[in-house]
Amino acid sequence: MVAAIGCLTAGAQDKWETGISADFVSTYVWRGLELGHVSVQPALEVAYKGLSLSAWGNVGISHPDDTKEFDLAVAYTVGGFNVALTDFWTSDGGDPRTRYFMYESHRTNHVFELNLGYDFGFASLQAYTNLAGNDGVNKDGKRAYSTFVELTAPFRFASCDWEASAGAVPMSTSYYETNGFAVTSLSVKATKEIKITDSFSVPIYAQVVGNPCDQKAYFLVGFTLRP
């Protein structure tokens, strides 16, 4: 599940622009949770003056029973501030509730999430909260309005672009499998452009992700294809 697609470069465009990309990853890890094995993740985005509309998907290619995902998002960025609303949808097989156009309350597999954040340049702080749909429940069995907060810092080191991040869930929720405040994601990622021709290169990245809450860790690699 991805809250921001980011096919296009940051900044306000004076005309509509389109971004198309596909990531190939060895393991699908999201906010410290393992959601799949070897996967392809296509993305499509159109953007104009800070406004963007995007679609993102995930399909497992090594395990046919991996979760299939299709997300739609609308986002707006002005200065360092960003806001987005994302519709996450996953399919887990033949269960009728996973049908895409099933929006009935308590039966839908859609999750609607609000994202608010600010990019300070040296670091970015993002908060994500589920507003409706197939959210988790808290210890009392009530809707948790599950929230995830993440701090990310980019830097350049040893000829690679690096990114360090820490993410936490502040409350009990079955959505993130937490019983209270919990750090669910500690991550370090390195990306390097591999030049194929004078006009075409492929970003290849390696990432280490730890989830202190469930005592799991992951090492994954991937690459991105874009025109």
Residue 8 is assigned to a structural domain of this protein: no
146-161 residue pLDDT tens = 999 999 999 999 999 9
Q: What is the pTM of this model?
A: 0.91
Range of the domain at 145: 17-225
Residue 2 is assigned to a structural domain of this protein: no
Residue 51 is assigned to a structural domain of this protein: yes
Q: Tell me the torsion sign for CA atoms 4, 8, 12, 13.
A: negative
Query: In CATH, what number is assigned to the domain containing residue 212?
Result: 2.40.160.40
17-45 residue pLDDT tens = 999 999 999 999 999 999 999 999 999 99
Residue 11 is assigned to a structural domain of this protein: no
